[in-house]
Amino acid sequence: MKTISSLAELFSFLNYTPDNKFHYALSKCEICEGSSFTVVRSHQDGGNNTLLPASVTSCNDCGFLMQNPRFSDSFYDHYYRWLYPSQRAKSDRNNEVAYVDESGESTDAGFHNQYRRAQSLHRYITDVLRHTFRSGANMLDVGCGSGGFLSYFRESGFNCLGNDPDQSAVSYAKGKGIDIDCIPAEQQQYPSSFFDFVFILGSLEHCKDPNEVLKRCAISMRKGSLILLEGRTYPLSHSTKYLNFNHHRFFRQSHMKAILVKHGFEPILSTDDQICGGDSGRSGMGYTFGLKRHDHANHSDAFARKSYLSNIRRLGYVESPATLIEMLNIHDSNLI
Average pLDDT estimate for 294-314: 83
Q: Give dist(CA 124, CA 107) in Å, integer.
A: 26
pLDDT at residue 47, rounded to an integer: 85
* Residues 254, 186 within the same domain: yes
Same domain, 107 and 214: yes
User: What are 113-133's pLDDT values in tens digits?
Assistant: 999 999 999 999 999 999 999
CATH, residue 273: 3.40.50.150
Which segments of 115-255 are extended strands (E)?
138-142, 159-163, 195-201, 221-232, 249-250
| pLDDT value for 189 | 97
Q: What is the mean pLDDT of the chain?
A: 92
CA–CA distance from 109 to each of 6, 76, 106, 202, 209 (Å)? 37, 27, 9, 19, 30
pTM, rounded to two decimals: 0.94
Structural domain boundaries enclosing 152: 94-315
Burial class (CB in 10 A: 0-12, 13-18, 19+), 269: middle
Counting beta carbons within 10 angstroms of the beta carbon of residue 160, is it exposed (0 to 12), middle (13 to 18) or buried (19 or more)? buried
pLDDT value of position 260: 97
Which among 83, 102, 126 is the end of a domain?
Answer: 83
CB 5 within 8 Å of CB 53: yes
Range of 7-21, 87-101, 121-135 with top mean pLDDT: 121-135
In a domain, 330, yes or no: no
In contact, 97 and 115? CB cutoff 8 Å: no
Residues 136-148 pLDDT 10s: 999 999 999 999 9
User: Is 42 a residue whose pLDDT tops 70?
Assistant: yes
At a CB cut-off of 8 Å and minimum separation 6, what does 121 contact?
149, 199, 228, 275, 276
Q: Are residues 182 and 260 in the same domain?
A: yes
Percent of the chain with pLDDT over 90: 76
**7 & 130 share domain:** no
Q: Is 189 exposed, middle or buried (CB count within 10 Å of its CB: 0-12, 13-18, 19+)?
A: exposed
Let me know if residue 327 belongs to a domain.
no
Number of domains making up the chain? 2
- In tens, the pLDDT along 228-251 reads 999 999 998 999 999 999 899 999
Contact of 144 with 166, CB cutoff 8 Å? no
117 and 71 fall within a common domain: no
Rg (CA), the chain: 19
Q: What is the pLDDT of residues 257-275, one digit of tens each?
A: 999 999 999 999 999 999 9
Calculate mean pLDDT across residues 61-82. 89
